[in-house]
Amino acid sequence: MPTVEERLAAMGLTVHEVVPPVAAYVPAVLSGRYVYTSGQLPFVDGVLAETGKVGAGVTPERAAELAAICALNAIAAVKSVVSLDRVARVVKVVGFVASAPDFTGQPGVINGASNLLLEAFGEKGAHARSAVGVAVLPLDSPVEVEIVVELAE
């Protein structure tokens, strides 16, 4: 069975070093058998990939791509505290979408993150989820994603 990083490599993706925090927090916390990540923005090589509101300048399709980048950054945050081989299950995903007032497609946007996690972790990537529309996100990011994973004993 391929590892998470092998599955991602087959998709042309690499788990990079964790994105440094932009404020007073840590990227991930290990507590018992769970790892909780902080909200991850769509940083690529240290630069926010896009800014703006979904439905007003950022298309839902582009926002879904950005959500996948957030999920990849969340995987990097998990990897910063434990081996990805220890992940037994992705338990929960919370996605925030900076939305134009009339935009209601938040679930489709956060599918970008969910789909990446399913591809990376296989059946262990099936998770509970919330997709929330908000007025604004840090640094004017269109999306932010956090995850909770359970570790094998």
- Spatial neighbors of 112 by CB under 8 A, at least 6 apart, are 63, 64, 65, 66, 67, 68, 71, 143
Q: What is the pLDDT of residues 83-137, one digit of tens each?
A: 999 999 999 999 999 999 999 999 999 999 999 999 999 999 999 999 999 999 9
**Residue 1 confidence class, pLDDT cut points 50, 70, 90:** confident
Ordered domains of the chain (ranges, CATH) = 4-16+27-151 (3.30.1330.40)
pTM above 0.95, yes or no: yes
CB crowding 92-130: b at 16 or more within 10 Å, else e: bbbbbbbbbeebebbebbbbbbbebbbbbbeebbebebe
**Predicted local confidence at residue 113, as pLDDT:** 98
Per DSSP, the residues of 48-72 read: ES--SEETBEE-HHHHHHHHHHHHH
8 Å CB contact between 113 and 145: yes
**Position 27 confidence tier, pLDDT thresholds 50, 70, 90:** very high
